[in-house]
């Protein structure tokens, strides 16, 4: 009989904050007067206030007691906790810690699937004779990471990825939890439905209207009712509530399912021409990434966050899959025009999806005027120059004309 699957989900506790704390303790000479461990005081890693990227990226447990939340504006966090210690993000250092974290996991299994910078699934099937029972092996991994790298992790253990992920989200930090199928009624079903994977705020509201408030109530609801209210997602969350989830670990990263770019703008955009400038910069980056991976997108979406932090988005399917900057830009401008209601815009983003290989070619139609070939050659030439001489070696003329306030200077951040 084949061995039953044994999956670990390993999640770094407050990753950015933890890595920042460890780095500062290792190099106190670089941070005079900051010998205190950030993890032991109300602290957070935040964005750049001057560029209005001022959101909380990670917080300490003491900060959590003040109800400081990841993703909220820094100004809101400071109202809740005036003595909050804020430090800027240093993503290069975080990538180094992430690589060291993965290297330790690879000592225990050759099947490690990294799903983000700070969390992984590890297939530990059949390793009991090497590392002991599951809880013992998980504790060994957890303690090795803490001893060698200085930060803590949570480890969730089960027979599939969904349950392992749910287990690792139980009480934190620095703990090991199991959630095997026979433990589901006692450990998972009493949790609120919002704790279940794939259940966001909108889905939660829909489930509440059906009288479903816990995962157990969801698990015992007729799937037909859920399909009627949530369509395909209804069936998916019902399966998740009953512990059915993916179990195959993919050591090699899967092909990108989407390519996107977004920027928080240093001033409120209140006119269409300024928005179009931002969209051109975003389309340029997204197009380059698609071309670099020899991929094309069939769907383009535009995301808007207004100055009151409300969000809206709009997407459309293209006539032809493309990686041409001008085609992505033209579509994004049209979507923005249809979506924008005139309110001041704080953030703009372009997202592409339904990705396929560029080698698949382009289906010709009577609507084509052949100009796409010219744009493809232009994009390839610009990519080649930038690769050889740097990203600023060639720029579009529209970015050379800045108004007196410098409002046409953009520096989008990839997402």
- For the CA atoms of 208, 312, 357, 296, the dihedral, rounded to the nearest 10 degrees, stands at 170
Residues shown for the chain: 415
Cis-peptide, bond into residue 388, ω within 30° of zero: no
Q: Dihedral sign, CA of 320, 325, 327, 328?
A: positive
- Residue whose tokens read 């993703």: 71
- Residue whose tokens read 């382009």: 362
Task: Report H helices in 172-231.
Answer: 184-187, 201-209, 215-219, 223-230
Distance CA 54, CA 61 (A): 20
Distance CA 363, CA 378 (A): 20
Tell me how crowded residue 126 is: count the other CB atoms within 10 A of its CB: 13
- For the CA atoms of 177, 180, 183, 188, the dihedral, rounded to the nearest 10 degrees, stands at 70
Task: State the catalytic residue, choosing from 119, 148, 183, 387.
Answer: 119
Contact by Cβ (8 Å): 383, 291: yes
Active site residue 128: no
The residues assigned a catalytic role are: 119
């Amino acid at each position: 009989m084949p061995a039953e699957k044994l999956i670990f989900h390993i999640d770094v506790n407050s990753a950015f904050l933890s890595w920042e704390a460890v780095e500062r303790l290792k190099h106190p000479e670089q941070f005079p007067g900051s010998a205190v461990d950030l993890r032991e005081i109300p602290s957070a890693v935040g964005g750049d206030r001057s560029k209005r990227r001022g959101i909380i990226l990670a917080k300490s447990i003491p900060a959590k007691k003040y109800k400081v939340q990841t993703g909220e504006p820094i100004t809101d966090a400071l109202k809740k906790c005036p003595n909050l210690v804020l430090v800027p993000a240093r993503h290069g250092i975080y990538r180094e810690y992430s690589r060291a974290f993965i290297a330790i996991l690879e000592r225990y299994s050759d099947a490690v699937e990294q799903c983000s910078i700070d969390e992984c699934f590890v297939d530990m099937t059949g390793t009991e004779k090497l590392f002991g029972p599951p809880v013992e092996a998980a504790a060994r991994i957890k303690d090795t990471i803490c001893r060698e790298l200085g930060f803590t992790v949570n480890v969730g253990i089960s027979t599939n990825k969904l349950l392992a992920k749910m287990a690792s989200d139980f009480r934190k930090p620095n703990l090991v939890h199991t959630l095997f199928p026979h433990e589901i009624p006692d450990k998972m079903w009493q949790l609120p439905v919002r704790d279940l994977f794939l259940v966001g705020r909108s889905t939660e509201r829909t489930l509440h209207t059906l009288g479903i408030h816990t995962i157990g109530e969801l698990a015992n609801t007729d799937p037909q009712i859920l399909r009627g209210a949530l369509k395909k997602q209804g069936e998916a969350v019902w399966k998740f509530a009953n512990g059915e989830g993916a179990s195959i670990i993919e050591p090699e990263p899967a092909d990108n399912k989407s390519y996107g770019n977004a920027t928080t703008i240093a001033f409120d955009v209140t006119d269409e021409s300024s928005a179009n400038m931002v969209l051109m910069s975003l389309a340029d980056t997204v197009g380059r990434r698609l071309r670099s991976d020899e991929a094309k997108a069939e769907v383009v979406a535009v995301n808007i966050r207004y100055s009151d932090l409300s969000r809206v988005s709009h997407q459309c399917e293209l006539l032809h899959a493309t990686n041409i900057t001008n085609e992505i830009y033209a579509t994004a401008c049209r979507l923005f025009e249809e979506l924008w209601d005139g309110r001041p815009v704080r953030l703009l983003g372009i997202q592409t999806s339904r990705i396929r290989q560029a080698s698949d070619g382009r289906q010709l139609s009577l609507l084509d005027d052949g100009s796409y070939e010219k744009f493809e050659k232009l994009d390839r030439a610009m990519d080649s120059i930038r690769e050889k001489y740097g990203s600023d070696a060639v720029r579009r003329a529209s970015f050379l004309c800045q108004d007196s306030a410098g409002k046409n200077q953009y520096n989008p951040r990839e997402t």
